[in-house]
Amino acid sequence: MIEAYTHTLLMIDLSRGAIETIPVPDELTRDFIGGKGFGAKLLYDRLSPGTSPYDPDNPLMFMTGPLTGTMAPAMRGCVVTKSPLTNTFLDSYFGGSFSPEIKYAGYDGIIITGKADKPVYIWIDDDRVEIRDAGRIWGTDALDSNEAIKKELGDDTVKIAGIGQAGENLVSYALICCEFNRQAGRGGAGAVMGSKNLKAVAVRGSNPVGVHDPKGFAEACKKAFKELEVSPDVEALREAGTASAVEYANETGLLPHRNYRNGTFEKASKLADKGQRKHLWMGSNACMGCPIRCSKIGAVRTGKYKGIVTDIVEYESAGLMGANLDISDVRAVAHLVKLCDRYGMDSMSTGTVIGFAMEACEKGLIPSPEGIELTFGNVAAAEFIIHAVAGREQGIGELLAKGVKEAAEEIGGEARDFAMHTKGLESPAWGPRGVSGMGLAYMTTDRGGCHQRGFPLAYELAGEWEDTPLDPLAPENKAKLVISLQNHSAGTDTLVKCDFGSFGISTDTYAELVSTATGRKTTARSILEAGERIWSLTRLFNIAQGLDTSQDTLPRRFISEPLPDGPSKGHMITEQDMAVMLQEYYKLRGWDAKGVPTADTLSKLNIEPDS
C-alpha cells in the first residue's frame, strides 16, 4: 500500500560505527502518529533513569511526521533527546528543508547513539550511509562548516544539520543549525550532538513521498491552504512575522526589560516590524512548501554593523536580546543574533543569560570582565559574553555556558532570586505576571519554561475561552484551558506542523490530511488523545529522570516582585496562586497530588509504565 510513512528508522551507533535500519513498530504509528510522539516513546523506552545527557547512550533523534515531504502546508521537523540544560525530555523544532530530505532518503526518522573517537559527520545518500572524518571542519562555525561539507560532497543542494563551536564546547544551550536561519534552538540539543563528536548530518534523498489517497489528499490540502488564506492571524504573520508581537507585548505589559524587572520598554517600537522594515527587511521568505512566508530576507544597510545578511529578528530574539538587555538598536540586535547563529547558540537562552549576568554585575555579585562594562544597554558587553560563552573561556564564559540555573547556583545567595528559568530552561519573552494561566503553562511544560506548549495569554487577555469568563490575573479556570492547549500542541506536534500553520488550519483538516496521506483513519479527537497520551508519557520520563513537583514552579522574580509598570502594575503570581492552579491541573490531568500520572490514567491512555 502506498502511503506517506516509510516505516523505516535509520539507526547509527557512532561508538561501533554500526549502521542499520529497523521497521517502525505498529504501536508507534497507531498511538503516537509521528514526530514528537515517536521521539517521546523511543526515548522513554530506550534511556535508563539517571543517564547523563552527555552519555553515549542518550539518543539524538531527528524525527519527521506523516505529512513531512508532502504538499501539506507548514510542515517542520523535530529533534528529540534528553536535555543537558534541564535533565528532562527535550523536543526542539526546526523549519526549512532538512526534515523533508530525511523522508526523501527513505526514513521516518534518524536515531543516533554512541560517541565517535574523533570528530565526524554523517553522510546519508538514500540507502548509502557513511560516517566521515570531520577533523578539518571541527572548530568552524555552523555556517562555514555547512558550506565546507557541501563543497566536499560536490553538491550544494544537500541538506545539513550541524553545530558550531558552542555545541563542540558543550555549551548547555547550544543549538542545531538545520540549514541557514533554521534552528532546533531550545534546550541544548547541539551540546548533545557535540558530546558525540558529531559535527553534522548531511542528507540527500531521491525518493518521492507517496500518499494513500491522492485525490482525497489533494482536496484536504486545498482546504488547508484555503483556511490559511482567510485567517487574519496568518495574514498578519505574512505581513510582519512575529516582529509585530513586540508592540503587542509591550502594550500588555508582558515584554521583558532589564532581566524581566519591568514589563514595558519605551523604545519597543524600534525592535518591532516598523524598525525592522526601516533597517533590515528587503523581502519575504518561506520554509519549503509553506504559503505563510513569515520570514524575511534582509541585511543591515546602515551603521556599525552594515553588511550583515540577516533574516527577520523573531519576537523572542527581539525581546530577549533587545528589550531584556535594554538595547533598542535592531541592527545591533541582528548582529548579536547572527553571532549566536554562527556559534550555534540559542539566542533566547543567551539573551536571558546575558541579562542575568548584567544584573549580577550591577548587584556586585560578579565582577565585570577586564576592559568591559557589563551593564544594561551595552552592546559590546553582550557581544563579549557571546564570544566568551561559545569558546567556554575561563571565568565568565565557563560560568554562563552552564545556563542561568547552574550559574546562579554557583554564584549563590541573591543570584537565585533573579535567575529567570523554569526547570533550567531560560524563560521566554512573555512575562506571566499579568497572565496567570501563562504562568501555569510555564510551570507544567515538559521541556521547562516554554511558550510553545500552550499559549493561553491571548484567551486570558480577551477575557474568555469557550464561553468561560477569564480574569487574566486570577488563578481560577486556567487549568482546563492550559491542558486543552497542551494536548492540542502535543497532538499536532506529532505531525510535525508549524505553530503558525495551526493559526489557520483546523484540527479536523489536519486529521483529513493524515487519513488521506497514510490510509489510517484519523480524527481530530484521536490527534488530541495522542497529545494527551504523549503529555503523560513525557511526564513519566521526567519523573524517572528525577523531576518532582517542587520543580513545577516559576522564577522567584515572578512570584515575589510585583510588576512595576504596564496594565497589570502591582501584580505578581503568588505561591497560593500557583498551588491553586497546580492542584486543579493535576486533578484534571488524572495525576496524583504529587504530579504523577495515576494507574487509571495510564490504563486509559494505553501507556505501559516501567515495572
Residue 576 CB neighbour total at 10 angstroms: 10
- Classify strands 159-162 and 128-133 as parallel, antiparallel or unpaired: unpaired
Helix axes 507-518, 214-230, angle to 10 degrees: 160
DSSP output for 460-521: HHHTEETTEE--TTS-TT-HHHHHHHHHHHHHHTTTTB-TTGGGTS-HHHHHHHHHHHHSS-
How crowded is the C-beta side of 363, counted as CA atoms within 13 Å? Answer: 16
Read off the C-alpha cell for 403: 545556563
89 pLDDT band, cuts 50/70/90, is: very high
Q: Among residues 417, 405, 266, which one has the least CA distance to residue 349?
A: 405
Q: What is the pLDDT of residues 44-57, one digit of tens each?
A: 999 999 999 999 99
- Check pLDDT > 80 for residue 530: yes
Q: 165 CB contacts (<8 Å, ≥6 apart)?
A: 139, 140, 141, 343, 344, 390, 391
Q: What is the pLDDT of residues 322-376, one digit of tens each?
A: 999 999 999 999 999 999 999 999 999 999 999 999 999 999 999 999 899 999 9
- Check pLDDT > 70 for residue 84: yes
How crowded is the C-beta side of 456, counted as CA atoms within 13 Å? Answer: 33
pLDDT (average), residues 595-604: 96
DSSP state of 122: E
Q: What is the pLDDT of residues 373-409, one digit of tens each?
A: 999 999 999 999 999 999 999 899 999 999 999 999 9
Q: Among residues 343, 351, 427, 355, which one has the least CA distance to residue 393?
A: 343
The fraction of the chain above a pLDDT of 70, given in percent, is 100
Is domain 8-204 given the CATH code 1.10.3720.10 in the classification? no
Q: Where are the alpha helices (DSSP H) in 273-418?
A: 273-279, 315-317, 330-343, 347-362, 379-390, 396-400, 404-411
517, 212 in Cβ contact below 8 A?
yes
C-alpha to C-alpha distance for 558 and 555, rounded to whole angstroms: 6
Question: For residue 143, which phi and psi values (nearest 5 degrees)?
Answer: -80, -40
- Check pLDDT > 80 for residue 611: no
Residue range(s) occupied by CATH 1.10.599.10 in the chain: 432-604
3-class DSSP assignment, residue 256? coil
C-alpha of 324 from chain center: 19
pLDDT (average), residues 217-226: 96
In words, the CATH class of domain 235-251+255-422 is: mainly alpha
342, 164 in Cβ contact below 8 A?
yes
3-class DSSP assignment, residue 12? strand
Decide: pTM greater than 0.75: yes
Residue range(s) occupied by CATH 3.60.9.10 in the chain: 8-204
Architecture of domain 432-604: Orthogonal Bundle (1.10)
Residue range(s) occupied by CATH 1.10.569.10 in the chain: 235-251+255-422
